[in-house]
Every structure is written in structure tokens, then in C-alpha cells.
Amino acid sequence: MKILLLGSGGREHAMAWKMAQSEMVENLYVLPGNDGMALLPKVSTLFGSVTDIPLILKTSKELGIDLVVIGPENPLSEGVTDALEEKGVKVFGPSRQAAQLESSKVFSKNFMVEYDIPTAKALSFDNYDEAKAAMEKWDITQGIVIKADELAAGKGVVVTKDRVEAEKTLFDFMKNPDCTVKTKRVLLEEMLTGKEVSAFAICDGENFISLGYACDYKRVGNGDTGPNTGGMGGYSPKNWPSDTTKSFIEEKVFKTVLRGMKEMGMPFKGILFAGLMVEGDNPKVIEFNVRLGDPETQILLPLVAGDLVPTLYSAAQGKLSELGSQAIKLKNETSVHIVMTSGGYPSTDGTKMDLGNTIDYPQELLPNEVGASRNNYMFLAGAKKNEAGDLVNSGGRVLGVTALASELEGARKLAYETLKDVSFKGAHWRTDIGL
Ligand code: AMP
Ligand code: GLY
């Protein structure tokens, strides 16, 4: 079969690597892809944008694509799935309506309340003065979370116990023309405490298969210091959350979302990614995403034993229940992933990033052989080949290294050991991932 994958980051490099291993796959096209993926057998990269619907329709038709797999959130919230399915192309990814679980925090919160999915208590406002009045009555010593309704690339959430910061955030989000986050609606939310974990499920509209759990590190610096980033690395926890918590998540979160979305006439198909706060055996949903995470994908896909494609293809057709022994299984191992970023990243204060530097790395680390069985891999994101054919850094998050082992400590050691052989000028990474 022929697959078209949309996206270009480390997440899509890991997806392409995993899917290219499938015996079912003859050709895998990635739009726009990156120079790491281009090294994979069966893989070709295509020019274009992941939200260019006419181009994606034309490409799918011309290449005779059997399945489109969507990496990032924008094409989902812009209706790429709907446009393709209207033309009879099979897609692994939710419709525009179903993608509201991620694209609208207010939709998502209302849905959770309606279906009794455990989550933080929240109030929503589309009027600044009313939000401000509610904030004045808030017991700030318990903390407050302010969330912009729209997609804001991770910048639309502030958690604070400081009244001045809370009020400034509300003003910035709703009134300040100079703020990069702009929203007509905000949520004011109870601050949850506990330990964060993300749970992933492959869904077909009615049923799901678990893709495992991951913990990520969002701040740029060791010990969770410095500004937020897209993610500096993470690991798949072993023996946590407890089996009780996991069963609760499967019943009260995944099954309930599938039932609720179906009842509402927008069945959920694709990846459901639940960000959770767990205290004891009590998980609460912080947010939903409707796609794989970056770098969670680079943590989770190396832990999938065997072929991923039959599961994605069945899910796209609403047929997970017919998969039988072809359904994915997860290895009884754990993995650690460490991201290397360009100097200056995340440049929230306007710092210029140090780009265009040659990346030194052992060739065998790039997963270029289909099915090559290694315990460590490098996935590329903001990296490209220059005219001389050298790999140079071209974005904030440049690359990441994943290592597998039977226990976390072993995976962590191997990941850092592997990273020693990778270098470029200005490179930054955290040294406490998985500690
Ligand atoms: P979100 O964009 O909703 O994932 O929020 C970003 C981050 O803010 C989460 O990963 C949490 O660390 C934090 N956060 C969001 N909502 C809450 C909450 N209600 N209580 C505590 N932390 C939160
Ligand atoms: N790593 C968080 C995300 O992909 O949303």
C-alpha cells in the first residue's frame, strides 16, 4: 500500500521510521518531511504545506494513496480529514469537529463536564470584565490556571499563585494587542496537584487500543527551570501509574470520550492523547490532544513490537475490533528520549538562535535500515542538509535520541551515552531526563 504522512518534525520522523518497517507498505510519502526521513528506504519527501487542502487532495489522487496519516494538529483543526474522506481517501486522524477536543479548550471542558470525565473545575468567560470579577473573588492561595480558548502553541496556559500575574495574564490574553496569545474566551481553572503523565490511545470511532504512557519535560532547563518549550525529552514510566489508575483511565476517560463523541455525532478516530494529573490513584484530565505528541512519539513508537500499519489502517476504517492478532503489542521495556536544541531556543525573549552549524553524529544512529534492530536511535526535526551535503541545525528542536532498556535507569544511561557522540555548536540539552 501507499501511505501519505503529513508533517516534518521528530514526531513524523519516528512515525515514518516505524511505518516504513511494515511489509504492507510499498511507498511512504511525507509532506513536507525532513532530510532524516528522506534516508529511510521506501520514503520520499514532497514539497508543500500540511494545510494546503487542494494540494493534499491532488497528491493523494495522483499517487494513488491508500491511507493518509496526519502528524500535527493544524491540518486536523482545519478539516484536512473531512476534505479527504469526502473524496473517498482513508485517513488516520479526526474530523474537524472531533478535533475540537484539542482546538477548543471550552468545548473540551464542557464535554468532560457533560460526560462526567474527571477534570479540574473551571469557569468560562467571553467577557473580560466578568472574568476579572470572578478572578477577584478567587482564593489565589490555592492557585489559578488561566487558559486561552484557541490553539496557542503551548503559550496559552498560565498556572500561578500570584494575583498580579493572574490579572496581567487575563488582560494580555483578552485585551493586549501586543500579546502573541489572543482569545475571545478564557477558562479560569482550579489548580491540580500531583504528578503529570500522558496516556495515548489509537481510536476508530468506537473502540481503542492503548499506545502506552509517557512523561515529558516542558521547561528548557534542568530541574524544570526556564521558559516552556515544545518538549525537551521524556520517558515511558514503568510500574506507574498503577494498574488501578490505568483501568480507571481506560474506562472513565478513553471509553467515555468514544461513547460521548459518538453520541454527539462526531465519532473520534485517530490518536487520543490525554494529559493527566495523577494524585494517588486519582487521575484528572488536564487536556486532550487529538494527535501524537512530540517528543512522546519518539518515546512510544520504539516500544511498539511489530507492525503499526495494520492497526492504523483498521482504525481509519472503524475496524479495530476485527484486527485480532495483528493489533499492536507493546514491548515490556522502557525508553528515554532526550532532545537537543539550538543555542538560544526557545527564544521567547527574542534571543536569536544559533543556526546553520554542522551536526556531527555516528551514521548508524539514524534509523536508515528498515527493521534494523537497535536499542538507540536518533530522530531529526530542525535539521537539514546544506548545499555541501552536511547536516546542519535549522530549527529550535534539532534532533532527539531515544534509548530502550528493560529498566528506566538503563535506558537513561544508554540515551546519555548515545548523546555523547552527537554534537553541534551551541547545542543544548537537559541532563536530568528520566532522573
Ligand atoms: P495544557 O496546554 O492544557 O496542556 O497546559 C499546559 C500545562 O499547564 C500542563 O501540562 C500542566 O503542567 C499545566 N496545567 C494546565 N492545567 C492545569 C491545572 N488545572 N492544574 C495544574 N496544572 C495545569
Ligand atoms: N509534547 C507535547 C505535545 O506534543 O503537545
* Digit-coded pLDDT (tens) for 252-266: 999 999 999 999 999
Burial of 302 (0-12, 13-18, 19+ CB in 10 A): buried
The residue extents of the domains of the chain are 2-96, 121-190, 195-330, 334-419
Say if domain 334-419 classifies as CATH 2.30.130.60.
no
User: What is the tens place of the pLDDT at every residue in 9-54?
Assistant: 999 999 999 999 999 999 999 999 998 888 888 999 999 999 999 9
Q: For the chain, what is the largest distance between any 2 Cα atoms, rounded to a whole number of angstroms? A: 62
What was the pLDDT predicted at 371?
60
Task: Output the CA 265–ligand 2 centroid distance in Å.
Answer: 27
| Residue 93 pLDDT class (50, 70, 90 cuts) | very high
Indicate if the pLDDT at residue 95 is higher than 90. yes
Indicate if the pLDDT at residue 152 is higher than 90. no
What was the pLDDT predicted at 245?
97
Is it true that 121-190 and 195-330 share their CATH fold?
Answer: no
Least confident span in 142-156, 284-298, 404-418: 142-156
CATH number of 121-190: 3.30.1490.20
What was the pLDDT predicted at 393?
97
What was the pLDDT predicted at 403?
97
Ligand 2 atom, smallest distance to 292 CA: 4
d(Cα 242, Cα 236) in Å, to the nearest integer? Answer: 14
Q: What is the pLDDT of the chain when averaged over all its residues?
A: 95
Helix (H, G, I), strand (E, B) or coil at 226: strand
Mutate to test the pocket of ligand 2, among 216, 286, 291, 397 (most ligand atoms within 8 A of CB): 216
Q: Is the CB of 172 under 6 A from ligand 1?
A: no
Task: Output the CA 23–ligand 2 centroid distance in Å.
Answer: 29
Peptide bond into 41 cis (omega under 30): no
User: What is the tens place of the pLDDT at every residue in 96-137?
Assistant: 999 999 999 889 999 999 999 999 999 999 999 999 999 999
Ligand 2 atom, smallest distance to 291 CA: 4
Average pLDDT over residues 1-6: 98
d(Cα 38, Cα 45) in Å, to the nearest integer? Answer: 6
User: What secondary structure does DSSP assign to 332-385, as a single string?
Assistant: S-EEEEEEEE-TTTT-TT-PPP---PBPB--GGGS--STT---SEEEEESSEEE
Indicate if the pLDDT at residue 348 is higher than 90. no
Question: What is this structure's pTM?
Answer: 0.95
Task: Output the CA 286–ligand 1 centroid distance in Å.
Answer: 6
Peptide bond into 362 cis (omega under 30): no
Burial of 324 (0-12, 13-18, 19+ CB in 10 A): exposed
What was the pLDDT predicted at 372?
63
What was the pLDDT predicted at 228?
84
Task: Output the CA 370–ligand 2 centroid distance in Å.
Answer: 26
CATH number of 2-96: 3.40.50.20
What was the pLDDT predicted at 39?
81
Nearest CA to ligand 2 atom 5: 293
Mutate to test the pocket of ligand 1, among 286, 288, 296 (most ligand atoms within 8 A of CB): 286
pLDDT-above-90 percentage for the chain: 87
Average pLDDT over residues 275-304: 97
Q: Which CATH superfamily is domain 195-330 in?
A: ATP-grasp fold, B domain (3.30.470.20)
